[in-house]
């Protein structure tokens, strides 16, 4: 089904994994302010309890589930909780993610596999469970990938590989549901570098701290894209044009891009600042949560993305650009 009939946000219940920090936390708060019911999912019960109490105190319908998305049975429990607590759900956001920072021959196979268990299998399990529940009532599945699912960078090999797999799985799922005329929208969202605690949470094999390379964007932009996709069917949304450049260069000039990445990729991700010690390394167990942003203090964080706006509102963007073109042409004729 090419255009599922999705409910407005204030009539929805939204399941959000990875909701205890970063993009997931910003999305939960934004959804609650819009009037949606939210089911927060993460491993850190202390953070979940505090965030849920905050949302409820502000008048939102909110509940939480302590779960590890790498376990399929936990997704079944998430769905049951949504049904028991809210009568069901309308959108399911697969956002939970972990990472490592280090060269591929240094990262252990166990850690490499753990990244796939969370970042890929967590998306697979969540998507299949959501699709099973939404086949009749309709709704949206939103999978959070990355621009690194299109272009690999050094020091992030396992993460990039898992995000490539997420992109392929999401595309396959969308096509199969459309062929069966299932009223479910499947959206793949690809953030660029985002100001979240993710670098501090990564298992670090380097002798330095880790940061995301510039340009860095606000997590609120990703949350806006997610919630837009909850009630507007879209195939893909990329957050931040800066992150779109590397995949574009990789397609046009693959060898040159490789060489640039081999040089720039190291210094752009290494930093003398390791961030808050309490946040370090959540690969296998939760660490300090409850923060939307990184403790690294990036000097510039972009709060707007015209490129994202153009994707969300292509008709309006085309009209504005068309009007500008006509105006420029008229001005040119007047000068003659």
Q: What is the secondary structure of 139-179 as a DSSP string?
A: EEEEEE--GGGTS--TT-HHHHHHHHHHHHHHHHHHHHHHH
Confidence bin at 314 (pLDDT 50/70/90)? confident
| Cα–Cα distance measured from residue 28 to residue 35, given in angstroms and rounded to the nearest whole number | 11
Average pLDDT over residues 14-24: 99
Does the active-site annotation cover 284? no
Report the side by side order of strands in the sheet with 184-191: 62-66, 37-42, 13-17, 91-94, 139-144, 184-191, 236-239
Q: Is the peptide bond before 215 cis (omega within 30 degrees of 0)?
A: yes
Q: Are 92 and 126 contacting, i.e. CB atoms less than 8 angstroms apart?
A: yes
Q: Is the pLDDT of residue 335 over 90?
A: no
Helix (H, G, I), strand (E, B) or coil at 209: strand
Q: Among 64, 120, 125, 159, which one carries the catalytic annotation?
A: 159
Mean pLDDT of 149-170: 98
| Whether 90 contacts 142, CB under 8 Å | no
Q: With 0.75 as the threshold, say if the pTM is over it.
A: yes
What pLDDT does residue 1 have? 47
Per CATH, the number for 9-304 is 3.40.50.720
Check whether 220 has a pLDDT greater than 50: yes
**Three-state secondary structure call for residue 101:** strand
Q: Domain locations in the chain?
A: 9-304
- Asked if residue 139 has pLDDT above 90, the reply is yes
Nearest partner of 279 among 198, 194, 201, 196, judged by Cα: 201
Q: Are the C-beta atoms of residues 193 and 213 closer than 8 Å to each other?
A: yes
Q: Which pLDDT band holds residue 322 (cuts at 50, 70, 90)?
A: low
């Amino acid at each position: 089904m090419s255009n599922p009939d999705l409910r407005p946000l204030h009539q929805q219940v939204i399941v959000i994994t990875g909701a205890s920090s970063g993009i997931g936390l910003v999305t939960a708060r934004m959804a609650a302010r819009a009037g949606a019911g939210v089911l927060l999912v993460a491993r850190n019960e202390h953070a979940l309890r505090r965030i849920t109490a905050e949302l409820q105190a502000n008048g939102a319908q909110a509940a939480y589930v302590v779960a590890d998305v790498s376990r399929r049975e936990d997704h079944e429990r998430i769905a049951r909780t949504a049904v028991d607590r809210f009568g069901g759900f309308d959108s399911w956001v697969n956002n939970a993610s972990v990472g490592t920072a280090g060269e591929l021959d240094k990262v252990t196979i166990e850690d490499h596999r753990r990244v796939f268990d969370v970042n890929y299998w967590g998306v697979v399990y969540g998507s299949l469970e959501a699709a099973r529940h939404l086949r009749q009532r309709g709704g949206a599945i939103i999978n959070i990938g990355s621009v690194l699912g299109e272009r690999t960078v050094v020091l992030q090999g396992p993460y990039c590989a898992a995000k490539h797999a997420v992109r392929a799985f999401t595309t396959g799922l969308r096509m199969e549901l459309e062929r069966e005329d299932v009223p479910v929208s499947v959206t793949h969202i690809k953030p660029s570098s985002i100001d979240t605690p993710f670098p501090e949470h990564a298992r670090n094999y380097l002798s330095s701290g880790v940061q995301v390379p510039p340009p860095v964007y606000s997590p609120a932009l990703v949350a806006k894209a997610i919630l837009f996709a909850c009630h507007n069917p879209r195939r893909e949304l990329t957050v931040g044009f800066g992150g779109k450049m590397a995949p574009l260069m990789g397609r046009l000039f693959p060898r040159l891009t490789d060489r640039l990445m081999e040089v720039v990729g190291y210094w752009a991700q290494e930093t003398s600042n390791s961030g808050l010690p309490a946040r370090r390394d959540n690969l296998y167990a939760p660490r300090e949560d409850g923060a939307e942003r990184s403790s690294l203090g990036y000097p510039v964080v972009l709060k707007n993305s015209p490129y994202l706006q153009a994707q969300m509102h292509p008709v309006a963007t085309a009209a504005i650009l068309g009007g500008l073109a006509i105006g420029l042409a008229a001005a040119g004729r007047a000068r003659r």
